[in-house]
Amino acid sequence: MRRWALRLVGAALLIAVAVAIWQRDAIARLHAVTTLFDEGRIVQNFSHMDRLFDTAPIPVTRTPKPLDEGPAMPLPADWQDWLDRRGVTGIVVLHDGAVVSEEYRMGTTREDQRVSWSVAKSYLSMLVGVMLNQGAIASLDDPVDKYAPALRGSAYGGVSIRHVLQMSSGVAFDEDYFDFFSDINRMGRVLALGGSMDRFAAAREDRTGPAGADWQYVSIDTHVLSMVLRGATGEDIPTLMGRYILDPLGAWGAPHYVTDGHGVAFVLGGLNLTTRDYARMGELARLNGRFDGRRIVPADWMTESTLASAPTDPGAMGYGYQWWIPADARAGEFLARGVYGQFVYVDQQSGVVVAVNGADRQFRAPGALDDAIGMFRAIARTYDRE
């Protein structure tokens, strides 16, 4: 009996080793997800997502025109302390398109391809505007399942593109990053283990209410937009993003998307670009869809998408079409925003754009968002027109 028991244990160990070898990539990605935000790893992880996950290059052929250099920005009070407490790894400030401040910290460099997290959502919004203008999408009031039939019968069935853009889809989704069993973290494990984001989206069954009634931040809504774009055009998102946004805009290095196991781009947060690229995107938004003398995104789309049109609570941060608008924003003030301290802030009245990459593990602490917006406004007010 002892001999047989030893044989069984040995066989079990061999099977375990074989499974580990067979699934080593998936296991490595799962480990990457569970340690992605660890204090000793977060900074380098955010610069090297291509080492941790499957990725797809974004085809960009145009060498970007160097950004102009302007007079050094007068530093606001508390500048260095703010950089420290917000875990800023890279920051580029533009005034009227010229660099007036640029700094890289915690071992990062200008060349780093930093993960965008939800700043990527605002890029996708621009792409929706381009496809709407070209007629690939007939109307924002079309249901998403007109273009993405896989969503029929799911919680997204019959929901309009507009309501998904505004995150008023009414689809139930738990966005708690600190709950292991939340929807957002289950989605992360699907990504890590090579699953399908399309299937994950189509499996949503529960709703919190009718579409358009209430606003709730639902990251999977952005993936649904990618399903609409792919269905409307027959092309993948990296190709579309490269052709219509990043190639006309220009991008440094090798921009790329994190993908699921089926090669589908993780559009709600997997875009990787340099901090200077994020600043160029902010400048594109500041100029209402123009950059370097060329029209890239329709002007009326930029205006409409950056208005607080979603049904948020009075006094709360506003939301447009995948853009954030401060509750007390002045005209032309809006931002793209991602977890752990990623921002692209735009203030059209002062001509200021602030692009920030960070590893802010306290980004959910009370007052952290106000702290960031307060600094951006301090910069913008320095350049207010007379």
Q: Band of the pLDDT at 1, cuts 50, 70, 90? A: low
Q: Band of the pLDDT at 297, cuts 50, 70, 90? A: very high
**Can you give the pLDDT at residue 305?**
98
Buried b / exposed e over 162-180, threshold 16 CB at 10 Å, is: bbbbbbbbbbebebeeeee
Could you read off the pLDDT of 19-64 as tens digits, one per residue?
Answer: 445 555 566 666 666 789 999 999 999 999 999 999 999 999 988 9
| 181 vs 123, higher pLDDT | 123
| 232 vs 27, higher pLDDT | 232
Q: Are 238 and 257 in contact (CB under 8 A)?
A: yes
**What is the rounded average pLDDT of the residues 101-125?**
98
Using the 8-state DSSP alphabet, how is residue 160 labeled? Answer: B
d(CA 126, CA 241): 9
Q: Residue 241 corresponds to which tokens in the numbers above?
A: 């993003």
Which position has the token pair 């990459």? 357
Q: Residue 324 corresponds to which tokens in the numbers above?
A: 């954030």
**Can you give the pLDDT at residue 173?**
95
Q: Residue 40 corresponds to which tokens in the numbers above?
A: 């000793």
Q: Which helix (H) or strand (E) holds 235?
A: none
Q: Among residues 120, 119, 118, 128, which one has the least CA distance to residue 228?
A: 128
DSSP-derived secondary structure for 242-269: IIIIIHHH---S--EEEB-TTS-B-TTT
Phi, psi of 113 (to 5 degrees): -85, 95
CA angle at residue 177 from 362 to 206, to 5 degrees?
150
Q: Residue 271 corresponds to which tokens in the numbers above?
A: 């875009």
Between 34-38, 170-174, 360-364, the lowest mean confidence (pLDDT) is in 34-38
Q: Residue 30 corresponds to which tokens in the numbers above?
A: 């799962």
d(CA 229, CA 348): 29
Q: Residue 283 corresponds to which tokens in the numbers above?
A: 């400048």
**Can you give the pLDDT at residue 63?**
84
Q: Band of the pLDDT at 241, cuts 50, 70, 90? A: very high
| Nearby residues of 108 by Cβ (< 8 Å), 6 or more positions away | 43, 47, 89, 90, 114, 357
Could you read off the pLDDT of 137-169 as tens digits, one per residue?
Answer: 999 999 999 999 999 999 999 999 999 999 999
Q: Are 247 and 62 in contact (CB under 8 A)?
A: yes
d(CA 226, CA 269): 12
Q: Are 348 and 285 in contact (CB under 8 A)?
A: no
d(CA 174, CA 337): 18
> Could you give the 3-state DSSP secondary structure of residue 184?
helix
| 17 vs 262, higher pLDDT | 262
d(CA 283, CA 290): 8
Could you read off the pLDDT of 257-275 as tens digits, one per residue?
Answer: 999 999 999 999 999 999 9
Q: What is the pTM of this model?
A: 0.92
Which position has the token pair 């990251």? 219
User: Which residues share a beta bridge with 258?
Assistant: 55
**What is the rounded average pLDDT of the residues 207-217?**
97
